[in-house]
Structure formats: C-alpha cells, structure tokens
Structure 1
Amino acid sequence: MVAHRGREVTTAVDILVVGAGTTGLSLALQAHDHGARIRVVERRREPFRPSRALILHPRTLEVLRPLGVTDALLERADTAPTAHLHLGSRVVETRLADLALPDTAFPHLSLMRQMDVETVLARALADRGVTVERDTELIAARDDADSAVAVLRSRHGTEEIRCPFVVGCDGPASTVRACAGIGWHGRPYAEEVVLADLDLGGIATRADAQVFAGRRGLLFLFPLGEQATWRLLATRASASGPGRNFGQPGTAVPQAELQRLLNDAGMKARIERLAWSARVPLQCSLARRFRRGRLFLAGDAAHNYSPATGQGMNAGIQDAVNLGWKLGFVASGSRGESVDGLDTEVLLDSYDRERRAAAHRRLILTHTAFWAEASTSWIPSWLRATAAPRAAPAIPALLGRRRLVAEAIRLVSQLRVNYRRSPLSVEGIPPLRGAPRPGDRLPDAAVSVRGPAERLHGLLARPGVHLLLQRDAALPPDALAAPRVTVLRLMNSPGRGLVAVRPDGHVGFRCGAADPAGLTGWLSLIGAAASPPVRP
C-alpha cells in the first residue's frame, strides 16, 4: 500500500465488488471460493430496507449450494408456501411445495425476504474473512488495459485502487455502468408497484399468502412484513406518470389510499397500523453489454425487470455465480502465470454471451407476465376481472396436473436456461449420447459412487470443476494434475464417456470415450488446468 498525494493505491485485491446486495455478496463468495482476493464496498451506511424481493427459486438455491449457504437460507424460508387466489367471489388454494421436479433437491418455491438472504450471505463472507465496507462510495472507475482503476470515497478520505477487475452490482443507477459508458435498451412502465408493511384487522395473523385479481391489477399480501405482520404489494397505473429512480421505493402512499386498494380488491380487512409504504416506479431495461474491458455489470446494474415472476434477486444471484468463478479462475491464475492470451478473453467474454442472452429471454417473459397482471388496457383487465373468475372452477384441475405446474416453475426459475452456444460448451470426440448437452444445466439424480445411492448435486456441492466418469471410462491423466478438478466415477452409469461440470452446475464438456486432448483443451480454456487449489 503506497501513499500518493493523500490517496492510497492498493494492489492486494483481485476484484472490487461495488454493491453489497444479494448480487454483490453472491459474486464475492463465488469469486473468493475460486481463488480471488475480494473487496466489497457499499455506499449505504446500513443495509437497504425494506426488502423488495420475497421469493427464492429452485435454481437459485442450486447455484448457491456449493457455497455452503443453503441450509442457513432454508432455515429462514417458508418452503411449503400456500397462496389463496381470489378471483371475484371464488377462492382457489395453490400449494407451491413438493412440485413434480425430481431433478432438483429444491422442488418448491421458497418465500424469503431479501434482508434474510443478505444476512446469510454476509455472514458467510465474514466467515471467510471478508467484511463489507459500508459508507464507501465509488466515485469513478475505468478500464486501464492491463488493470482497472477505481476511486473510492469514505469517511477516511479518497482512495484510488488499481486491481484486475471491478464489478458493478450497484443497482439500476449503476456508477460502474456510467463510468464504462454502457447504455440501456428499454423503457419505463406506465404502471407502478405499491409496497407497504401493515397490520390488518379482519384477517388471521397466521393466514397464508393472499392474491387478489381485479380489473385494475393484482394485489398480494404476504405474511413477511419486516415492520408489521403483512407485506402488501399491488400493481396499479402510475398516479404521476413514469418515475425516475426505477426499482427504488419513492414517496409514501397514504393509509386511506392503501385501504381503498384493499376495498377495491374485495378484501374485507381494515388497516390497523401502517408501518411504512412507498410507490416504486418500474422499467424494463437491458444493458447493451455486460462487460467493457475489466469493468463488469451484474444484477440490476445490467438488467431491470418488472416484479412479475420474481426474477430480480434470482437473476442477479445467477449472474453472480456465473461470473464469479470465471473471474476467480483468471485472477488466481494470473498470480502464477501470464493470462494475456486468447483463452482468457474467451472465458471473460463468455459471461456477456451467456447471461445477456438469458436476460433478454427473461425480459420477454417478465414483460408478458406483467402485461397480464398489471396493464389496465381492456384485454388484460377483462382477463383478470371476467375471464379468470369464470375459469376458476377449472383451475384446481389444472393445478392438479403436477407436471404442468412443474414445467411452469422450470421456466420461471431458470431451470431451463442453457448456454449451448457458449464458446465454453464443447463436444468431445466421439460425442456422448444420452447425457446433458454441453451448456445444459446438469440435473440432479440418484448415483452410486462408493456404495449406496446418493444424490448427484449433493456430491457436487463444493467449489471447482467436477469430472463425472462413466463406469468403464479411462481416467484422463491430466485430470489428476488439475487441482481445481474433482473426479467422480458413477458406478451405476455404464459406458466409457465422461462429463465435465462447470462450477455453476452447467455441463462444459462431454465425450463418449477417452478424449484427453479435448478435455485438456477445455480445462485450459476455462482456466482450471493451471490454477492453485480451491480454498476450503
């Protein structure tokens, strides 16, 4: 650490993470566990409250599992949620647990406040010796060819950092994105969300979640309030036109107006205490790119969605897990050998190619869903207020078709996301038939490794690359020399093929018989062949 005219230039950091929400904390954990030295800064003095996100999807729990945090998360979550859907005078009960998802360890939606997710992730990071530096603001950042330069301001003064990478997890008004000169595609919504924590009379305090569909939009009540029993979330036409601080709680909503929302929804309950409220302007936007040189974007800094289908927190965490291992491999490898080669650029560019395409598809999904649940034009209004109540008697039968519901959850939770067109998805020679294709998510399954059957995802719940050998496959000699690779032989899988699984749970390489050159090339491509051992 060297002083320069009142500033300090720090070089003992590989990745500066800007923003300590769920995206930034997840990225810091993933990069740290794959060999990087991390620093996390957050401009807010205290964690952001109240929580806006309330749902964790199955795929999000899967990608967090190797970081050792899922047990703590599930302890705080409602993993057997029940919602009562009010369609006019009809009420339909919907259970969102024990879904027909046999290929995941988490066949349910989990109701959980964002504040609880952040608490678990921050504690895990602190256990690794990394603390969030609060009240520390990024003033400027730039790509300087062979490194990134960032200027920070805190109560201790101004500091300049030179490090390999800066990642902006700093929300819709991202400073990193502005400094990188990366623009947006998108537009604001004419509708907004109203949030409030309140105590209600005329409803049981331990009641399940309630959903009301009406001509003016949807109204949700979750028993997850932070300052009162209930969290209210309602969609409505914006009272003052499109806002500016998209996704951020704005002006308060008067109690009388909230009571009117409840009355219009047909709910016979009265507000006994209003703890807080806010209107939240919304936009659907996508950054034109997720990387410029050594500056990266993740989460809300890279994409903004409506709250429909609960994508925001989940998409950000999945961005973070995708990017974190790649930066970790490059950063830790650079301390042992040069990384100024084509392979490094291919690996770093793959983040934009993989996650921006996935974000674009989610944008279409959430935009369509939000139109159906919030638009006040005549078609969606008629669907909510007239068609849905008439169809209510058929809904239990539809929900009883567990596979149909499961397919919807697969789509919403990103279990169907694949990276088949990624340069990191490589088919060996000869190809392996009957296994997930390169780029696909590896499904969970019962496998036999040392005796009784075990669940595959449980065996892979640690950082690094996992090489799965079929029963009669030859062990590639280079695999034993790659310190970031764990080798498992699946005794209940006949054949001579192998599958290499990336740290984020996607298949990276497969072949139907020994292909040492192909495997070695793929390990070099992702930076696993020459990296130091994974930290415990």
Structure 2
Amino acid sequence: MTTAVDVLVVGAGPTGLTLALQAHDHGARVRIVERRPEAFRPSRALIMHPRTLEVLRPLGVTDALLEQADTAPKATLHLGSRAVEASLADLALPDTAFPHLSLVRQTDVERVLAQALADRGVAVERGTELVAVRDDGYGARAVLRTPKGPEVIRCLFVGGCDGPASTTRACAGIGWHGRPYTEEVVLADLDLSGTPGGSGAQLFAGRRGLLFLFPLGEQATWRLLATRASHGGPGPDFGQPGPPVPRSELQHLLGDAGLDARIERLAWSARVPLQFRLARRFRRGRLFLAGDAAHNYSPATGQGMNAGVQDAVNLGWKLGFAASRPHDSTGGRDAEVLLDSYDGERRPAACRRLFLTHTAFWAEASTGPTPSWLRAAAAARAAPLVPVILQRRRLVAEGVRVISQLRVNYRRSPLSVEETPHLHGAPRPGDRLPDATVGVGGPPQRLHALLARPGVHLLLQRDAAPPPHEVLGPHVTALRVANSPGRGLVAVRPDGHVGFRCGKVDAAGLSGWLSLICATGQPPGRPRPPDDAG
C-alpha cells in the first residue's frame, strides 16, 4: 500500500489533465495516471469554445493555448455550386474575453496542460493502468498496473476520466445508457493536388453527409473529417480511431462532396465508430466520472473536449475543498452537499448537450431521406440567404453561446443561494458571471482578468460594508467594485458561476455559504482584505 493522496485522476486527456490542475490549485494532493505509454495521436478534437477558455484562465494556461490556436478562423461553406465565406472571429460577444471559436489540436491542448502540471510538480504517470477500484466508506482503494508491477494505493477520491470504456465507471457499477450510431466518422491527414476554393476550413454538404477539410493536419496539410453510413464489422472502442480507410474510398468521399482534387499523399486514415450515451449518474460515493467516461456524443458542434474540460473545472475545486474539510459531523454533511452538487449540476447540462448533438448530427450525417434532401437540395437553394444570416452577428453569437455553454446555469443547485434583501441588476445565483469593465482604483479593468486565479471571489459594491475577517479564509479574495453603486455582495465560485447574492453584506448568510463551499475559517491562513478603489 503506497502513500495516500487526496485525488487519483485516471486518464490524461484534456479532461483528466484539467481535473488534476483544478484539484491541485484548490489544495488537493493529486496523482494522475494514464494507461497509454505515449500521448495519444492523432488529435480528435480541433475546436475550443469561448467558455472553455474562460474556465481554464484561472489555471494560468490560456495564453499558452492561444499561442497554439487560430483565433481568427475562417471557413468556406460549399452548398451546391455556391461557396460562402464565413468568419468565426470577433463575434458579438461583449461579455467574454474570447469572442471567437479557436481552432487548436487536442495534442497541443494536452501538451500545454501537462506542462502546467509538471510546473506544479505533478507528473503524468504513463503506462500505468487502473485495474480495479472500490469505495470502502472512508476513501477509495485502487489497484494499479504500473511498469514496475502491481501497486495498491489509498485516496480520498477518484476522478474517472478514462473514456467511453471507463474502468472507473464499471467498478462503480454505474449504468451506461444509449446506443451506437448507424453513421461513422472518417479521419485522415492528406495532401491534395491544388487547394480547395476559399480560405481556411472547408465544409462540403452532400446527400451522403458532410465533409470537412481543416488546415490542421499533423502529418500532412489537411485534416479530413467526413461522415458516412457505418461499414460495420469489428472495430475499436467507440470514439477511438480504428482500421485505416483505403485511399480509393477517401478519393470517392472527395468526389461525392463535389471536390475536384486528387490525393497526392495519404499520411494516415481511420474509421471511427460513434455512439451517444450518458452515465446514469456522475458520482457513486468516492468515485466520480467526467468527460467521455460520463457522456459520449457525436462530434457535431464540437462538444467532446469542451464538455470534458468544463466537467473537470466544476469537479476539481469541489474535490480540492472537500479534501481539506474537517472530518467532524458538520464538515461531513457539508462535504456531501458540495460533492453531490457535481452530479446535480453537470448531468442536466450533459442531457441538454446530448439532445443538441444528436439533433445536429442527424442533420449533418443521417442518410435518411429528409436530412439527405436538406443537405443536398434545400441547403443549395438557401445558399443565397447564408451571407445575410451571417451578417446578423448577434444571431450567430447567440448560436455560439448555446454551443459553448455560455448559457449553462446552476440555479437549482444547493450551492446557489439568494439572501434578502435581494440584489437586483446582478447575475442570479447559479448563472455564469459575465465579463465587464469595472473600476477598482486606477484605470478601468476587465472583471474576468481580475478574477483569473483560483479560489472564491467576493465582489463588493461601492458602499458595501467590508465582510468580517472571520468569514474569510485562504481561498477567498474580496474585491470592491467602485463603479457599482450599492451595498450588495456577489460571491463567485472558482468555476466562474455566481454562488451567493445579497443586497447587503449579511455576515451570517455569507458565512453559512462559505462554510458549505470551502469550510472557510477552518484551515490556517491569513484572510486577504478587500482591494478598495482609490
């Protein structure tokens, strides 16, 4: 039996790496294991949403990610004989620092996150597989298969980020409901004779499905992604690249899409079987599921990596705070409420995403008569209207809000508390805190930049009384907003959602909420006073 840790993270994809970072930065001792000896190749995810960048910002990795990303992506939509240019940058999203979709390879995301963990002294243990795990009531006992032989460890919590075939989920006995799709995805990196008309990514709508070409190939110029009816037969795990696709079939896919280009070089290819599934629950005792271990979608709207990262950010701070909570009866009850809130908040959001991705995938990939007609005939006839729609920036931005989870709220969560007197004009408890320009002394600054560090943040209005020091703690920062008149208070969770709101600084109400969230006042540490405006 090896030395105990607080959180064992199983799986070192974007979800697992983010969970390890978030838990570590909120006080947990973390260990992260990955059964693959090397980082997974090729990238499956290529798009990062605005909300994902927001929740990663306090972990100090956003700048490095943006250096690897195309933050002003362009796309050409080929609808019949008409080509329509679209820009995915500078969307009408004034309440975020990232008003764009970002094209970035999953491998680059993993490299940045793994380096951030290494900088904190946490190494990804590759070639180490979870064999079995169980909750014994006081913690979890995990059996690992390592390059040096079997190992048994104890930990407080296990974060299962180990994909659709999750060992964590199987050991927890959590149901896995859904079914396979009758369509599959084809992936390939290839060089083409000539460049497809238009700039940036290319999308071709055809009767048999969609075909994308992204200038993000890892071993060639273009990454091809196409949908088609599944060929069936033996294959890999769902969502995992499997057998290669013959060059002739890839050339046929290009021809069906109306693309007059020849494959000059094929670096690699794979067929990927797909499914839509949802875990019956995201928590059983000390065992938690996140990312593809908790929900599996089609690639439509680019939810996989983004949803997993946002799961991890929601869960990580809760595990970190729960690990440092005192073990008396009050601390135990509050910890259960805190930990249960993960399933209560993220599973309903996952259900809504499942409906969204299933509907979008039906439209873009189903070979039924209605979606085939919509892609091949209706889309071509509606092509002249597309530029008009794209010029309506607010309409496009609203679509991005929904896709990227900027609209997700946790209003029904037990962590969302409204005290009297009500504070009007501020986001409701459970809502995402929008970005804004604020005054805190000196030049105006952006609110999200001021909150871009781990922990809980208390936003005091201009005339609010300072919160008593005894309700603060080492993970709580108070900030006075000089350009917000009033005596109220908003408390912001580490994942950027409002947790507490009141029209005055109610010491008892605030203390109760903070005790539920992070047991403030229990761990040692010097509270930080409010940063008052000059």
TM-score using structure 1 length: 0.96
2:221 pairs with 212, 226, 229, which one?
229
- 2:76 and 2:199 in contact (8 A); partners too: no
Give distance in 1, aligned partners of 2:142 and 2:322. Answer: 19
1:109 is the counterpart of 2:101: yes
- For the aligned residue pairs, the C-alpha RMSD in angstroms reads 1.5
Distance 1:242 1:385, change over 3 A: farther
User: 417, 420, 438: which one pairs with 1:426?
Assistant: 417
TM-superposition CA deviations, 1:293-313 (whole Å, max 9, x none): 000000000000000000000
Equivalent residues in 2 for 1:350-499, closer than 5 Å: 350-478=341-469, 481-499=472-490
Question: Is residue 302 from structure 1 mapped to residue 294 from structure 2 by the alignment?
Answer: yes
1:526 corresponds to which residue? 517
> In 2, distance between residues paired with 1:18 and 1:205?
44
| Inter-partner Cα distance in structure 1 for 2:470 and 2:426 | 20
Q: Distance in 2 between matches of 1:422 and 1:273?
A: 53
Cα displacement (A) at 1:73: 0.2
Shift of 1:333: 2.8
Query: Among 41, 45, 57, which residue is 1:49 paired with?
Result: 41
Counterpart amino acid of residue 456 in structure 1: L
Shift of 1:241: 6.3
In 2 relative to 1, CA 422–129 (structure 1 residues): closer, same or farther, beyond 3 Å?
same
Deviations 1:45-76 (A, max 9, x none): 00010000000000000000000000000000
> Does residue 99 of structure 2 align to residue 144 of structure 1?
no
Deviates more, 1:430-439 or 1:234-243: 234-243
Q: Give the letter for the 1:284 counterpart.
A: F
Letter in 1 for 2:286: R
Hey, what's the Cα distance between the residues in 2 that align with 1:447 and 1:47?
Answer: 42
Alpha-carbon offset, residue 9 of structure 1: 2.9
Corresponding position: 1:278 with 2:293:
no
What SS does the aligned partner of 1:133 have?
strand
Contact 1:478 1:520 in 2 (8 A): no
SS of the residue aligned with 1:182?
Answer: coil
Show the counterpart of 2:159. 167
Q: Partner residue of 1:16?
A: 8
What SS does the corresponding residue of 2:324 show, helix, strand or coil? Answer: helix
Q: After superposition, where does 1:204-219 map in structure 2 within 5 Å? A: 207-219=199-211
1:135 equivalent to 2:127? Answer yes
Worse-superposed segment, 202-211 or 42-51: 202-211
Query: Do the aligned partners of residues 437 and 481 (structure 1) sit closer, same or farther apart at CA in structure 2, a change above 3 Å counting?
Result: closer
- Indicate how the Cα distance of structure 1 residues 209 and 169 shifts in structure 2: closer, same or farther if over 3 A, else same: same
Q: Distance in 1 between matches of 2:470 and 2:221?
A: 54
Given residue 223 of structure 1, which amino acid in structure 2 is its aligned partner? P
CA contact (8 A) 1:42 1:136 kept: yes
Q: Which amino acid aligns with 2:462?
A: R
CA distance in 1, matches of 2:71, 2:466: 40
d(CA) in 1 for partners of 2:125 and 2:330? 29
| Kept after mapping to 2: 8 A contact 1:242/1:281 | no
CA separation of 1:243/1:362 partners in 2, compared to 1, >3 Å: closer, same or farther? farther
Separation (CA, whole Å) in 1 of partners of 2:167 and 2:330? 28
Separation in 1 of the partners of 2:432 and 2:328?
A: 31
| Cα distance, 1:332 vs structure 2 | 2.3
Shift of 1:430: 1.1
Residues in 2 aligned to 1:460 and 1:267: alpha-carbon distance in whole angstroms: 48
Contact 2:207 2:375 in 1 (8 A): yes
Would you say how many aligned residue pairs link Structure 1 and Structure 2?
525
Deviation for aligned residue 1:483: 1.7
Residues 447-480 of structure 1 deviation map (CA, whole Å, 9 limit, x = unaligned): 0001221000000000000000000011120466
Unaligned ranges ≥5, structure 1: 1-7
- Deviation of 1:205 after TM superposition, in Å, equals 11
SS in 1 for 2:413: coil
Instruction: String of CA shifts for 1:66-95, please: whole Å, max 9, x gaps.
Output: 000000000000000000000010000010
The match for 1:197 among 167, 183, 189 is 189
CA contact (8 A) 1:485 1:528 kept: no
Shift of residue 206, structure 1, vs aligned partner: 10
SS of alignment partner, residue 474 of structure 2: coil
Report if aligned partners of 1:33, 1:463 keep a CA contact under 8 Å in 2.
Answer: yes
Specify the code of the residue in structure 2 equivalent to 1:163: C
Report the more deviating stretch, 325-334 or 129-138. Answer: 325-334
Counterpart residue number, 2:63: 71
Question: What 5-or-longer segments of structure 2 have no aligned partner?
Answer: 527-534
For 2:433 and 2:104, locate their aligned partners in 1 and report how far apart those are by CA, in whole Å.
25
Give the one of 261, 269, 280 matched to 1:269: 261
TM-score (norm 2): 0.96
Call closer, same or farther: CA 1:139–1:217 in 2, change over 3 Å. same
CA shift digits 1:272-302 (9 cap, x unpaired): 1111100000011000000000000000000
**Structure 1 residue aligned with 2:530:** none
- Stretch deviating more after TM superposition (103-112 or 202-211): 202-211
Distance in 2 between residues matched to 1:268 and 1:533, nearest whole Å: 66
Deviation at 1:482, TM superposition (A): 1.7
Classify the secondary structure of the residue corresponding to 1:153: strand
8 Å contact 2:196–2:202 — kept in the other structure? no
**Could you tell me the percent identity over the aligned residues?**
78
| Equivalent residue number for residue 346 of structure 1 | 337
Distance in 2 (CA, whole Å) between partners of 1:206 and 1:68 is 36
One-letter code aligned to 2:166: S
**How big is the shift at 1:341?**
2.1
Cα deviation 1:244-291 (Å, max 9, x = unaligned) = 611011111000100000011001111011111000000110000000
Q: Is the 8 A contact 1:484 1:528 kept in 2?
A: no
Amino acid across the alignment from 1:106: F
- Closer, same or farther in 2 for the Cα pair 1:480/1:120, shift >3 Å? same
Q: Cα distance 1:70–1:432, how it changes in 2: closer, same or farther (>3 A)?
A: same
For 1:338 and 1:19, the matched residues in 2 are separated by 33
